[in-house]
Chain A
Amino acid sequence: MKSENRTISTGATGLAGATGLAGVASPVSVSTDAPDGGGSGSSTFVATPDQVAASQCPQEQPVFSVRDLSVYYGKNLALKGVTMDIRPRCITAIIGPSGCGKSTLIRCFNRMNELIPGARVEGEILYHGENIYGPGIDPVMVRRHIGMVFQKPNPFPKSIYENVAFGARINGYKGDMDELVERSLRRAALWDEVKNQLKKSALDLSGGQQQRLCIARAIAVEPDVILMDEPASALDPIATVRIEDLMQELKQDYSIVIVTHNMQQAARVSDETAFLYTEVDEETAARWGILVEFGPTSRIFTKPKDKRTEDYVSGRFG
């Protein structure tokens, strides 16, 4: 991993470069988690005590520091006052009932929200100490560092090869493209299934394969963080397990943020969990999302501090 890639602005902003390097240069790579521990067929989604120790995140400089983030769509407040840290090489899950702003929040991390007309963000998100909403920051550069995988597998109507090569091509990649495509597909655990049909249309793949292709496509740009917006919600259980296993693999190199509807999934895969909930203004009936609780997944699922979190994770609503 090249650490000089980590700063967003290509200019001489030394500050961001320094903190960015500090965050990454630490050689600690804690990956003692047990991927199958949580998912071993147990019907309860409450984490077992041995997971508590296993899923501690490396206490390094956070990749993202969200500071009092609010999002508006036009005049409507969608998300209010979120403050949280995303740790490196760690899976952070965002859970909560429908409409609580999970997707809105994750789309803030790579400034995808701006593509929606009327969307506006207040507060800041520090990426290795640099505010990605700061003046002079190009959202295109942000997105080259922070990859995204979407809810519905969305490969381009091109060949498998071209899908993976797309990001590298637009970034003016000069290296060996064949090698990059193979490496990315291997990393996404798809190589063995498609190595003989790289020229075939990506749309001929199954849904699960398409989603892994989308992950390979995101990896090929060599991002620092991978955002996943309900990556498995359109997939069958077997494909879902493959994606979850893959996430455990990937977190050795990448920081992963995942939005999920599925609490079992959050409990199985994530190290830290953010619980979002909808607040309603009694007078105007306006609704917006707030961050209720954020912490290690094991604690959120076993000893939640907030009553609403407890109700949600114990399945009383949502």
Chain B
Amino acid sequence: MLISLGVVITLVPVAMILYQITSKGLGTMSWEFLTSSMPLSFRREGGGFLNALVGTAIMVGLATVVSVPLGVLAAVYLVEYGQRNWLARLIRFFSDVMTGVPSVFVGLFVYTALVIEFGFGALMGAASLAIIMMPIIVRSTEEMLKLVPGELKDASYGLGAAKWQTITKVVLPSAAPGIATGVMLAVARAAGETAPLILTALGSYQLTAKLWDQPISALTLAIFDGARNPFAAGQARAWAGALELLIIVLVFTIVARVVASRSRLKR
């Protein structure tokens, strides 16, 4: 009884958010919205968030390219080499702290470290997203690597495989579906970040693929911008943008879950 009540209380806000975003966003959502960029004035109707979508894709993509190899390597170090030594403890401690740090601080850090020197741009935004993604990838990959059965490693060593061969040919392939799940959850998280991008990418009305020297938009930034202006057309676009982002994040999360459950069945 109490448990079902808990379930209901948890699900009500989720259902309300989904309903609100879908009902208010669907009206403005159209092919035009997906394929054109923002009009230069908020007052004007029409146009869409293509520039924001491109910005999100570029920045999340770059952040993924940087954070996945680094994060996976760090996790391999933690599980296969460091185990309990001081460096491994340090990495684990900071990863845990970093997952809890409010993301606006990450934005502030990149702002002072890079933006003041080099200006707003996609690279700076990607840097802040990479910092946010890294600890998630490290910890989720670490858990997946720990799940690789010791018997498989023994089999590999028993056949005369060196440690690096065992890691690249047995451990990582066995853990790959789980690692992919963690990566996709990290991607979903990064795609939904707003605060650090305000301080690093700034936002823009123009469609651009330039990586530096020019502010760039992101879905979250465009939603934020549209939502806080007083004009109905801009607000409507923000709702549609929210729906677009929701679907993207949802797809990533669902794919992650499917991949994870598939791999579990295989074992």
Contacts and interface: CB of A to CB of B under 8 A. Distances in A.
Interface of A: 110, 112, 115, 117, 140-141, 143-145, 147-148, 150, 152, 154-158, 166-167, 170-171, 201, 203, 214, 217-218, 221
Contacts of B162: 140, 170
Interface residues of B, number: 21
A303 B190 CA distance: 74
Given A157-B174, A170-B165, A117 B158 contact: no
Contact of A154 (B83, B151, B267): B151
A221 B266 contact: no
Nearest to A148: B158
A112 B158 contact: yes
Given A117-B83, A152-B151, A157-B266, A170 B169 contact: yes
Contacts of A217: 155, 159
A143 B159 contact: yes
A66 B160 CA distance: 21
Contacts of B149: 154
Contact of B160 (A115, A156, A171, A203): A171
A33 B86 CA distance: 57
Contacts of B267: 157, 203
Pick from B152, B159, B161, B169 the residue with the most CB of A within 10 Å: B159
A143 B151 contact: no
A119 B155 CA distance: 19
Contacts of A112: 154, 157-158
B170 interface: yes
B165 A154 contact: no
Contacts of A148: 154, 158
A170 to B, nearest CB: 5
A156 B158 contact: no
Residue of B153, B156, B267 most packed against chain A (CB within 10 A): B156
A150 B154 contact: yes
A134 to B, nearest CB: 18
Interface in B133-151: 149, 151
Contacts of B157: 112, 115, 143
B265 to A, nearest CB: 11
B160 A167 contact: yes
Nearest to B160: A144
B155 A154 contact: yes
Contacts of A150: 151, 154-155, 158
A218 B158 contact: yes
A143 B158 contact: yes
Contacts of B156: 156, 166
A158 B169 CA distance: 11
A154 B159 contact: no
Given A115-B157, A152-B151, A157-B152, 4 more contacts: A140-B162, A147-B158, A157-B173, A170-B165
Contacts of B169: 166, 170
Contacts of A141: 160
A140 B151 contact: no
Contacts of A156: 152, 155-156, 170, 174
A221 B94 CA distance: 43
A141 B157 CA distance: 10
A152 B151 CA distance: 8
Contacts of A214: 155
A107 B108 CA distance: 54
B148 to A, nearest CB: 10
26 contacts: A112-B157, A117-B83, A140-B160, A140-B161, A140-B162, A141-B160, A143-B157, A144-B160, A145-B160, A147-B159, A148-B154, A148-B158, A150-B158, A152-B151, A154-B151, A154-B152, A155-B155, A156-B155, A156-B174, A157-B267, A166-B161, A166-B169, A167-B159, A201-B266, A203-B266, A217-B155
Interface centre among A110, A154, A203, A217 (most CB of B within 10 A): A154
A167 B191 CA distance: 42
Q: 5 nearest interchain CB pairs?
A: A144-B160, A148-B158, A167-B159, A154-B151, A143-B160
A170 B159 contact: yes
Contacts of A152: 151
Contacts of A147: 158-159
A171 B165 CA distance: 10
